[in-house]
Structure 1
Amino acid sequence: MSEKELPAGWAWAELGDLLRDPLRNGHSAPATQGGDGVRTLSLTAVTQANFSIENTKITSADPSRVEDLWLEPGDILVQRSNTPDLVGTAAIYNGSRRWAIFPDLMIRVRVSALILPKFVALVLNSGRARSYFKEKAKGLSGSMPKIDQSTISSFVVPVPPLAEQARIVEVLENRLSRLGAAVGIVKNSRKRLVNLKKSILLDIVPDEVPQSWISATVEQAGTVELGRARHPDWHHGPEMRPYLRVANVFEDRIDTSDVMEMDFSGIFEKYRLHPGDVLLNEGQSPHLVGRPALYRGTPPDVAFTNSLLRFKANSNVMPEWALMVFRRHLHARRFMKEVRITTNIAHLSSKRLKAVEFPIPPMDEQKELVLRCDELLSGVDAMDREAVRTLKRADNLRRAILNRAFTGNLVPQDPTDEPASALLARIQAERAAQPKAKRTRSASTTPRKAKKSPAAAPTESAPAPSPTAAPTHAVQQEFDL
């Protein structure tokens, strides 16, 4: 958007030129078990715009080091590190003064009293701002992308007259609150659909096995194998083959949009997938470990890595029935009882999976139950897809509303309003009149040496000291008076 596209009376300004105080990173400290400590926000407080006790923790932060981090109403918090879709997310703090501080993964924005903080916070959540922060975010491979203070300070804000800012905020809060309420209803509906899916699976595969069924374990129902480990030496080689990993295996779905390759010279057949193989996540977050999908031949000629487990059903077990049993265990959180956690990743070993119960009905009953379950779950999945489409439409509508607001198309302009250029001039004068902030140092644990007392002033009768020779290298120092 160029400056010519702004309505009359508006102006562009970098966010750094609208600040009352310099941008400030927060401070993170370990959580404490007792009641004493400093209340610190969590990242979810900004992501959900919910500043309540449930989104805070008590930490062991040194009060003397965080005195300038206490939040005030009107402070804007920006996430400086998160996933690509969430980095740069902003929210305006609406809690009490000095109720909490903010962590190191957030940056505090305090704008001039001559501009509305709510207006700036809404601008920072517009589609243009989200795209800007996502593009500017940097991070090493495998780490969370990050933005810094200069990125935030350089973001260009469309500034309308102050009176129009108030009108925009009033209309936006009304429309976005109604949209947010509708989104909340749809999200709650999706949660109910998850519970409905769980109840269907628990009904089809009950805890109490009927007498006509076989009470078996996974090991007795088929074979379990772990995929091939990945290694940098196999990134290139004479027999490059595609392989599936955790990122490809979702519940009852294999995502083929990002299939990687590795050298499988001489061992491809050992790890080659065949239609009917059930793949389960070996390493995942605890509630998703064991997430299963049935390989139906797409993509063809593909192997799997050791982040996945493969189950090959015996002749008396339908692969589709095995998938149902594993989906049932996933939703019942049965796999969570078997996991071991290392470096925040839950792992389901083949040994522990083999010991998990696996009921086996007669083959005719398996076919009937699989058909019945597919019919019921397909209806649930159809409703969930419609809910997802509704949420996407709501997100697009929200972006469109914000875009109209910040291009001057949401509320009418009033030619009698003081133009933004005059407002920016006053903010600039205000900033110029502020005393320059002195740099402060963190408190040191090492005691400083006491300064020597100055010598007594010489009396008139005292002889003048001999002149000191000028040093070869002069060093100029400045001291506060």
Structure 2
Amino acid sequence: MDQPPTDSERALPPGWALVRVDQAGEVRLGRQRSPEQDSGAHMTKYVRAANITPAGMNLTDLLEMNFTPAEREVFGLKVGDVLLTEASGSASQVGRSAIWRGEFDLCCFQNTVIRFRPHLTTSEYALVVFRHYAAAGVFAGAARGVGIQHLGGSRLAELPYPLPPLAEQTRITEIADIRLAEIREAEARLRSALHHLNEQVREIMATAVAGELAPRSPQTPEPDRARGSSRSGQINLFEETLNLDVPGLGATVPEGWLRRRVDHVGEVRLGRQRAPKHERGRNMRPYLRVANVYEDRIDTSDILRMNFEPEEVAIYELQDGDVLLNEGQSPELVGRPAIYRGEVPGACFQNTLIRFRAGDGIEPEYALLVFRHYMHSGVFREIARWSTNIAHLGLERFRALPFPIPPRDEQQRIVAEARRRLDAIAGQTRAVQASLARLPEFELELLAAAVAGELTPQDPHDEPSSELLQRLGPPRKTQATLSSLRGDTMPKRRPRPTRQAEPTPDLAAVLKENGGSLPLPELFAQAGYNRDLPEHVELFYLALRNALGGTIRLTGDAAENAELEVADAA
């Protein structure tokens, strides 16, 4: 007696079938990378997870390792193969997919990639299904792991696969491609609009500090109209200073303006260094750091505290109108400034920030415009010194920068006009960003409709998927026993020892047995774990988390193929 249809099958359109992914096509995990394959007689390009992007395949940095002729038979790519990322630190990025179009005659794939070779389905329709699963969180729900999420070949193989008739698959993908192209075009237009709005912001600030934004004052100011306050501790504020020329800065200022060093128009100070001894004490106070200072905005969602003695409070406590700048940041954002407006009462600041306290005759809001201009025009980037990927503005370099000074009343007009224009642009920017944020929802709705049979009507003349399944049968399995394949003429290597017993949580011992260091995937295997067993993946990453910072340490990139070594190996 036939079994009644399941809920999933009842929801399928006429002529469709619900199969497993490994019925719709062959599923295979790539070949593991190991040091012994870094050289050999059959060096071959291979695809890894980093080559699979949301926009398709990025083959600008394909790596090579040795694949014997037999291994090429198993792990070689063919036109139409669908490649998926097997793992990611972000669950939302697991299962990112793209189609191999035969860009290279000979190419294989690594075990950070899963290959789906279509059998009952077209490559393009399979890509639609997998993109839907990624966007809808199906892959994220199936993935396992602590820290790095693994989809796993066996878990992908077991997922349900909605299978339309072949002819309908083609109709679905044709319509989906058109709609997706429309979404991409909308995204491109919105990003172009965002770029133009950002350009307008930069132009407003450039014209503000060049005296071209607001009506000019009719007379030249007297020197004391821009004199620093006594609290700045500066003297001789209007002596000419030398060596103020910086690439990107004009050598002159408008008539009636002054041009002085930053530290001659206000007090400049670096914040207090964070140290373990300050983590507790009698005078715990909130403090601001780089993570709190965005452009023209103080973020108070994550405020930390440390101890400041009373004499330190007198130095480091913030006042309304203080301008805070990121001392260390990415090159594009170094010097990112915002005004403190009392958002966190009694707050001090850390040495990842520089404080500019405007002197008499300088409007803090005008100073903010100058510093925003310096960030956007590249002045801060030009004077910064780089350490790895962090650019440091430097207190002394910042102090020596030139500062254009209009008369006080002109500063106020500049600030008012700049604020009016910037507020208008901010409203437009929010609208564009809101539209951009809705595009992923549109794409998810489109993909969901595609795999539910809602993009195109069913044709009763199409061969039903059940008949297709009966006619073609299961997909052909690629021979997995490499030594049984003809053409493998490579001399036999002595295999690396692999643990076959229960996995061990003593990862340091495994590293010591293998020379002190291993790539993360190889450590996983050498410690006896099976990536297709969810409990093994979870146990491995639990052992890794417990050992990191103690008996073992990370020496490479924390992403794909991270290298781990015994902590006392150096």
1:20-59 mapped onto 2 (5 Å cutoff): 20-24=26-30, 46-47=52-53, 49=55, 51=57, 56-57=60-61
Structure 2 vs 1, CA of residues 282 and 93 (structure 1 numbering), >3 Å: closer, same or farther? farther
Looking at structure 1, the residues matched to 181 and 289 of structure 2 have their Cα atoms a distance apart, in angstroms, of 41
Structure 2 vs 1, CA of residues 56 and 215 (structure 1 numbering), >3 Å: closer, same or farther? same
Kept in 1: contact 2:26–2:118 (CA 8 A): yes
Q: 2:118 is matched by which residue type in structure 1?
A: S
Report the equivalent of 2:178.
174
Structure 2 vs 1, CA of residues 18 and 291 (structure 1 numbering), >3 Å: closer, same or farther? farther
Q: 2:459 is matched by which residue type in structure 1?
A: D
Kept in 2: contact 1:51–1:95 (CA 8 A): no
Normalising by structure 1, report the TM-score.
Answer: 0.75
Q: How large is the RMSD of aligned CA atoms in angstroms?
A: 3.9
Bigger mean CA offset, 39-48 vs 215-224 = 39-48
1:149-168 mapped onto 2 (5 Å cutoff): 149-150=152-153, 152-153=156-157, 155-168=159-172
Report the equivalent of 2:509.
none
Kept in 2: contact 1:288–1:330 (CA 8 A): yes
2:99 to 82, 85, 92: 92
2:307 to 257, 264, 270: 264
Q: 2:178 is matched by which residue type in structure 1?
A: N
Q: 2:288 is matched by which residue type in structure 1?
A: L
Q: 1:160 is matched by which residue type in structure 2?
A: P
Structure 2 vs 1, CA of residues 112 and 351 (structure 1 numbering), >3 Å: closer, same or farther? same
Q: Describe the SS at the equivalent of 2:137.
A: helix
Count of residue pairs brought into register by the alignment: 430
Looking at structure 2, the residues matched to 14 and 234 of structure 1 have their Cα atoms a distance apart, in angstroms, of 58
Q: 1:115 is matched by which residue type in structure 2?
A: T
Structure 2 vs 1, CA of residues 406 and 325 (structure 1 numbering), >3 Å: closer, same or farther? same
Looking at structure 1, the residues matched to 326 and 32 of structure 2 have their Cα atoms a distance apart, in angstroms, of 37
Q: 1:262 is matched by which residue type in structure 2?
A: R
Report the equivalent of 2:391.
346
1:310-325 mapped onto 2 (5 Å cutoff): 310-325=355-370
Kept in 1: contact 2:48–2:113 (CA 8 A): no
Structure 2 vs 1, CA of residues 241 and 148 (structure 1 numbering), >3 Å: closer, same or farther? farther
1:263-412 mapped onto 2 (5 Å cutoff): 263-264=306-307, 266=309, 269=313, 270-412=315-457
Report the equivalent of 1:471.
none
Offset at residue 44 of structure 1 (A): 7.8
Does 1:118 find its partner at 2:124? yes
1:223 to 245, 254, 267: 267
Looking at structure 1, the residues matched to 347 and 133 of structure 2 have their Cα atoms a distance apart, in angstroms, of 39
Offset at residue 320 of structure 1 (A): 0.6
Identify unmatched segments of 5+ residues in structure 2.
1-5, 36-42, 211-249, 496-570
Report the equivalent of 1:468.
none
Offset at residue 56 of structure 1 (A): 0.9
Identify unmatched segments of 5+ residues in structure 1.
30-36, 450-481
Q: 1:220 is matched by which residue type in structure 2?
A: H
Report the equivalent of 1:414.
459
Report the equivalent of 1:214.
258
Looking at structure 2, the residues matched to 25 and 315 of structure 1 have their Cα atoms a distance apart, in angstroms, of 68
Report the equivalent of 1:244.
288
Offset at residue 7 of structure 1 (A): 3.4
Structure 2 vs 1, CA of residues 17 and 341 (structure 1 numbering), >3 Å: closer, same or farther? farther
Kept in 2: contact 1:40–1:57 (CA 8 A): no
Bigger mean CA offset, 81-90 vs 310-319 = 81-90
Kept in 1: contact 2:94–2:149 (CA 8 A): yes
Structure 2 vs 1, CA of residues 301 and 89 (structure 1 numbering), >3 Å: closer, same or farther? farther
Looking at structure 2, the residues matched to 58 and 190 of structure 1 have their Cα atoms a distance apart, in angstroms, of 33
Q: Describe the SS at the equivalent of 1:352.
A: helix
Looking at structure 1, the residues matched to 25 and 457 of structure 2 have their Cα atoms a distance apart, in angstroms, of 27
Bigger mean CA offset, 87-96 vs 66-75 = 66-75
Q: Describe the SS at the equivalent of 2:403.
A: strand
Structure 2 vs 1, CA of residues 10 and 352 (structure 1 numbering), >3 Å: closer, same or farther? farther
Looking at structure 2, the residues matched to 185 and 435 of structure 1 have their Cα atoms a distance apart, in angstroms, of 48
Does 1:438 find its partner at 2:482? yes
Does 1:81 find its partner at 2:88? yes
Kept in 2: contact 1:283–1:347 (CA 8 A): yes
Report the equivalent of 1:466.
none
Report the equivalent of 2:150.
147
Offset at residue 360 of structure 1 (A): 1.7
1:182-197 mapped onto 2 (5 Å cutoff): 182-197=186-201
Looking at structure 2, the residues matched to 123 and 178 of structure 1 have their Cα atoms a distance apart, in angstroms, of 19
Q: 1:126 is matched by which residue type in structure 2?
A: H
Q: Describe the SS at the equivalent of 2:61.
A: strand
Looking at structure 1, the residues matched to 427 and 329 of structure 2 have their Cα atoms a distance apart, in angstroms, of 26
Does 1:255 find its partner at 2:299? yes
Kept in 2: contact 1:75–1:110 (CA 8 A): yes
Offset at residue 74 of structure 1 (A): 2.5
Q: Describe the SS at the equivalent of 2:414.
A: helix
Q: Describe the SS at the equivalent of 1:215.
A: strand
Structure 2 vs 1, CA of residues 259 and 445 (structure 1 numbering), >3 Å: closer, same or farther? farther
Percent identity over the alignment is: 34
Kept in 2: contact 1:42–1:56 (CA 8 A): no
Q: Describe the SS at the equivalent of 1:430.
A: coil
Offset at residue 282 of structure 1 (A): 2.2
Offset at residue 309 of structure 1 (A): 2.4
Offset at residue 368 of structure 1 (A): 0.9
